[in-house]
Amino acid sequence: MKPSSEELTKILKERIGNLFEVVSVDNCNFKVDGKPGHPFTIGPQHIAAANAGYNTGILDERVMEEVGCAFKGCNKPLSDHTNDTGLFVKLTRHSTNTEANENLAPVKDLLVKHNIGIAIIETPEKYRIDADTEVTSE
């Protein structure tokens, strides 16, 4: 089972090299039927179905497949909604490709296993990862 975003964030913060500051693990690039869209939206009808139809009170994937998305005009099942997952990080200094790879090595298997991409967030310092030539410090 895939760990929650909070669990993944905690693990990645512990393991990733100090070149990177982990901000979060979040879902992004939401799509509906493969086109840019929105996350599956829960509405009162889902709560009602969970309580009535299944008598569980639990919102599981079965409810979200049979009771369409509550986003205005959508009404499609959960399976028509997809997204990517990103590890959002900030660079803590300028670096080289080699150094960046070394800092990512402890988390690479985890990122591959859970199909998580990396998104680098710009900082005011505008740190960069450059080719493996000498890094100039400012």
Q: Cβ(94)–Cβ(135) under 8 Å?
A: yes
Strand-pair category, 20-32 with 35-36: antiparallel
Q: Does 42 bind Zn ion (CB under 5 A)?
A: no
Whole-number Å distance between alpha carbons of 124 and 99: 21
Nearest distance, CB of residue 70 and Zn ion, angstroms: 8
Q: Cβ(114)–Cβ(107) under 8 Å?
A: no
Q: Does 69 bind Zn ion (CB under 5 A)?
A: yes
Q: Quick one: 54 or 71, whose CB is closer to Zn ion? A: 71
H or E stretch at 22: strand 20-32
Report residue 132 as tokens.
Answer: 């493996």
Judged by CB under 5 A, the stretch of 66-74, 88-96, 98-106, 118-126 that binds Zn ion is 66-74
Nearest distance, CB of residue 124 and Zn ion, angstroms: 37
# of chain residues touching Zn ion (CB under 5 A) = 3
Nearest distance, CB of residue 36 and Zn ion, angstroms: 12
Nearest distance, CB of residue 78 and Zn ion, angstroms: 9
Q: Does 30 bind Zn ion (CB under 5 A)?
A: no
Report residue 27 as tokens.
Answer: 């879902």
| Near Zn ion by CB under 5 A: residue from 23, 74, 78, 118 | 74
| Near Zn ion by CB under 5 A: residue from 30, 54, 71, 127 | 71
User: Residue with the closest Cβ to Zn ion?
Assistant: 69
Q: Helix %, strand %, coil % for the chain, to 5?
A: 35, 25, 40
Cβ neighbours around 42 below 10 Å, total: 16
What does the binding site for Zn ion look like in residue numbers (CB under 5 A)?
69, 71, 74
